[in-house]
Amino acid sequence: MSRAHRRDLRIPDWVFWTLAAAFCAAALLSAYLVYSSVREIAASWNAGGLPSFGLIDRPSSDETPIPGVTPTAATLSEAPVPWNGTDRVTILLMGLDFRDWETGDGPPRTDSMMLISIDPVSNTVGMLSIPRDLWVEIPGGFGHNRINTAYFLGESYKLPGGGPAVAMQTVEDMLGLPVQYYAVIEFQTFERMIDEIGGIDVLVEEEVKISPIGRLSRWLHAKAYHMDGPTALAYARARKTEGGDFDRAERQQRVALAIRDRIFYSNMIPTLVAKAPRLYQELASGVHTNLTLNQMVGLGLLLIQIPPENIHRGVIAPPDMVTLEKLPTGADVLRPNPDQIRILRDDLFTATGAIGPSVSLDNPGSAADLEEARVAVRNGAGIEGLATQTSDYLKQQGLNVVEIGNADRLDYGKSRLVVYQDTFPYTVSYLASLLELSESQILLQSDPNSPVDMALILGSDWQVPQ
């Protein structure tokens, strides 16, 4: 087909809705794989011989809004920066316990989180499951708490962007990876979409007992199954295996890939095209996201082109990345090991670390001067003059600052360095030492067309040395 012919080709709106629905099923509907209406999911963990432990069913006093407290996360915004089609894009998929609303006990917490990151440059996808009991700092002055309380606090305080915005910022700060989008898929929407595509084929790797809603419980044996919606949901929710919540995360990812395979490799697009108008009317209300229709279409088309071998999966899990710890209150949480989590992050989302292992850190300043990397300084803290003052300081240290301005938003709590070209390791090391950045705050995001080699995003943690 000629280029002119392609420009003149007009695609009906319902086809776009179909592609969006297909993408939701392949990527966003995998959010529902981490949805559960049963609180005891992930309530125990006996992997590696550790004793099981119980979690609090309702938000504890530490998770409840304190009268008179005004959180500092008031600048959170729900509107993401428009995707340019080439940058890495990351989506936080969340599963919520909607029964908290139904019973009048306040907003829900997240039962689980899954991060999906798509890199158009390297043509890769990373999938990372985050355990609900990870003990992290919730931005905005909320202090440390389980990561599953971030959504609850954002909704309870009615912050701009609500629970999704606070949850996204929490994950950003924990991983050092920008999160632009979120998606929440409701209970019945997942089951219905699985049934509409004719079910999925899943290889069950170990015997597990499932309890489909409205059906009798039964055992699945270690073999291949063709699952309908309720069965697939029950399989993704099951937790009573040796690895508990961490095994469940692996199953969720396998089911997500099975959805993708069913749609894109079983000629399901024509079927979805025929059903598009009706499906959209029935399912749209069950998909909550800040992605626009055009963005879903663009990402869906991109996902079609990514081969299965370029889809990388991981789970934040013991023994290296988290350790079981008992708080003074008696509650059990998972204490993260940031260095080990960073290694997994780099494996999944960057293919390589931003600082090469061959770099000598003895005197990076002199080597950085020779590299002449183009550095952009961007104010992400909303502090007037911060980018200009920092630029002057860095120039005094011999760095080549070619651009100053504001970041995509002004509520960054921690500074970060985004590296677009991986050929300037000494400059990266030098900047990291000057701003005391940890490796979790350095992100490699390859972009050969970027006008700068790296961008320093200044957070409220940074003060220009006097």
For residues 32 and 66, state if they share a domain.
yes
Q: Could you give the count of Cα atoms lying within 13 Å of 214 in the half-sphere of its Cβ? A: 6
97, 107, 142, 169, 432 from 383: Cα distances, Å? 38, 33, 21, 19, 21
Tens digits of pLDDT across the chain (466 residues): 333 333 333 333 333 333 344 444 444 433 333 332 222 222 333 333 322 222 223 334 344 444 444 565 444 444 566 666 667 788 998 876 554 555 556 788 887 788 988 888 778 888 898 988 999 999 888 999 999 999 999 989 988 899 999 999 999 888 878 888 998 876 677 788 888 888 999 999 889 999 887 889 999 999 999 999 999 988 887 776 666 667 767 787 788 778 878 877 777 766 666 676 677 677 677 778 888 767 776 777 677 678 888 888 888 988 889 999 999 989 999 999 988 888 888 788 864 444 443 344 456 677 788 788 999 999 999 999 999 999 999 999 999 999 999 998 898 888 999 888 877 888 888 898 899 987 778 887 777 788 999 999 999 999 999 8
Residue 449: partners with Cβ closer than 8 Å, 6 or more residues away: 86
Q: Are 419 and 177 in contact (CB under 8 A)?
A: no
Quickly list DSSP for 13-46.
Answer: HHHHHHHHHHHIIIIIGGGGGG--S-TTTT----
Q: How many CB atoms lie within 10 A of CB 380?
A: 25
Q: Are 432 and 355 in contact (CB under 8 A)?
A: yes
For residues 22 and 49, state if they share a domain.
yes
For residues 276 and 249, state if they share a domain.
yes
Residue 329 lies in a domain: yes
Strand partners, 185: 287
Residue 463 lies in a domain: no
- Residue 219: the pLDDT is 95
For residues 72 and 100, state if they share a domain.
yes
Domain with 65 in it? 13-351
Residue 465 lies in a domain: no
Residue 1 lies in a domain: no
The C-alpha atoms of residue 101 and residue 361 are separated, in whole angstroms, by: 53
Place of tokens 């067309």: 449
For residues 26 and 92, state if they share a domain.
yes
Strand 442-444 to strand 401-406: parallel, antiparallel, or no bridges (unpaired)?
unpaired
What sign does the CA torsion over 170, 174, 175, 176 have?
positive
Dig out the tokens for 122 from the structure: 């390297």
For residues 300 and 416, state if they share a domain.
no
The C-alpha atoms of residue 145 and residue 135 are separated, in whole angstroms, by: 5
- Residue 309: the pLDDT is 83
Residue 243 lies in a domain: yes
For residues 342 and 402, state if they share a domain.
no
CATH number at residue 312: 3.40.630.190
For residues 340 and 248, state if they share a domain.
yes
Q: How far apart are the first and last CA of the chain?
A: 62
> Which residue, 343, 315, 348, 373, is CA-closest to 439?
343
For residues 120 and 236, state if they share a domain.
yes
Residue 453 lies in a domain: yes
pTM, rounded to two decimals: 0.64
Q: Which of 316, 351, 386 is the last residue of a domain?
A: 351
What sign does the CA torsion over 333, 338, 344, 345 have?
positive
Q: For the chain, how many structural domains are there in total?
A: 2
Question: Would you call the peptide bond into 59 cis, given omega within 30 degrees of 0 as the criterion?
Answer: no
CATH number at residue 452: 3.30.70.2390
- Residue 71: the pLDDT is 61
Strand partners, 200: 227
Residue 70 lies in a domain: yes
Dig out the tokens for 303 from the structure: 């996902």
Q: Which of 329, 351, 373 is the last residue of a domain?
A: 351
The C-alpha atoms of residue 60 and residue 38 are separated, in whole angstroms, by: 18
